[in-house]
Amino acid sequence: MTVFFIGAGPGDPELITVKGQRLIRTCPVIIYAGSLVPAAVLEGHCAKVLVNSAELHLQQIIEIIEAAHAKGQDVARVHSGDPSLYGAIGEQIRYLRELDIPYQIIPGVTATAASAALLGVELTLPAISQSVILTRYADKSPMPRGEELASLARHGSTMAIHLGVQHLEKILEELRPHYGGDCPIAVVHRATWPDQDWVTGTLDDILDKVQGKGFRRTALILVGRVLANDTFSESALYRASHAHLYRP
C-alpha cells in the first residue's frame, strides 16, 4: 500500500502527467482538493472511495489514509499544481512517517510554469535574470526571517508571488524601491482554467488594471524585466561560435 501525492497541474486536465493520470484511474481510494482540482482530472477513475478534502481537517484525512492502509489499498492524494509547492503535504508526510505508511510524490506543472506559458515568455534570460524566486505574501502566516518580500526583492530576480492579489497595493509598495516603477508585472487569474484571464503592465499602473478585472483570489503575480525585454543576449548553447560535445 502506498500514498501517492499527485500534482494535478494548474487546471487544464491535459497538463497532468501520464503517471499521475494512471494512478488516479487505478487507485481504489482518492482524496482530492475539491476547491482547486477540476472534476475533469478525475474522469475515468474507478475508486471505491472518493473524498473531497476541502471538507476535512488534517486528522480526518489521516484517518481515511489509515483505514486504506489497513485494507492494503493505495491512495491517490490529489493536489493542484505541484504538491511540493504550497501543497501542505509536509504535515501529511510527517504523520505517514510516524505511522510507517509508504508514500511517493508525483510532480505536477506549477502555476508559475503555466502562467509563463500563457504570457509567452521565458522567465530566465541571459544577463537579465537567471533566477526565479517563488514566494508568497505574508498574511495569516508570517514569513521566516530574511524571506520578507522586500528582502527577496533586493535580488532583482524574476519573482512569482502566490496568495497575494488581495494585498497587491502593499506588495507594489515593497517591490517598487528595488525593481523600479517601470518594471513589468503580470497578474494571471486561474491559469489554464476555462475562465483564465490576465493583465500586464508596470508596477506603477498594474493596480488599476487588476481592480478593473476584479481579481480577488487564485491569481499569481509575476514580476521581472524578463516579462518585456527583447535586448537580451543570445545563449551560448546555440551560438554558432560555441562548440560543445554534440556540436564540435
Mean pLDDT of the chain: 93
What average pLDDT does range 62-85 have in this prediction? 97
> Residue 56 sits in which domain range?
3-106
- Do 133 and 153 contact (CB within 8 A), yes or no? no
Q: How far apart are CA 76 and CA 73, in angstroms?
A: 10
Give the least confident one: 43-47, 101-105, 106-110, 156-160. 43-47
Q: How far apart are CA 131 and CA 137, in angstroms?
A: 19
| Residue 78: CATH number of its domain | 3.40.1010.10
Cell numbers 509547492: residue:
85
Tell me, what's the pLDDT at 244? 72
What average pLDDT does range 124-135 have in this prediction? 95
What average pLDDT does range 176-201 have in this prediction? 97
Residue 197's pLDDT band, with cuts at 50, 70 and 90, is very high
Tell me, what's the pLDDT at 229? 80
Residues 224 and 116 in one domain: yes
Residues 36 and 68 in one domain: yes
User: Which of the listed residues 75, 106, 137 is the one where a domain comes to its end?
Assistant: 106
Q: Report the number of distinct structural domains present in the chain.
A: 2
Residues 159 and 84 in one domain: no
| Residue 121: CATH number of its domain | 3.30.950.10
Residue 30's pLDDT band, with cuts at 50, 70 and 90, is very high
**In the chain, what percentage of residues exceed pLDDT 90?**
83
Residue 245's pLDDT band, with cuts at 50, 70 and 90, is low
Q: Calculate the alpha carbon distances from 143 to 43, 139, 150, 151, 242 in Å.
A: 38, 9, 11, 11, 43
Greatest alpha-carbon span in the chain: 62
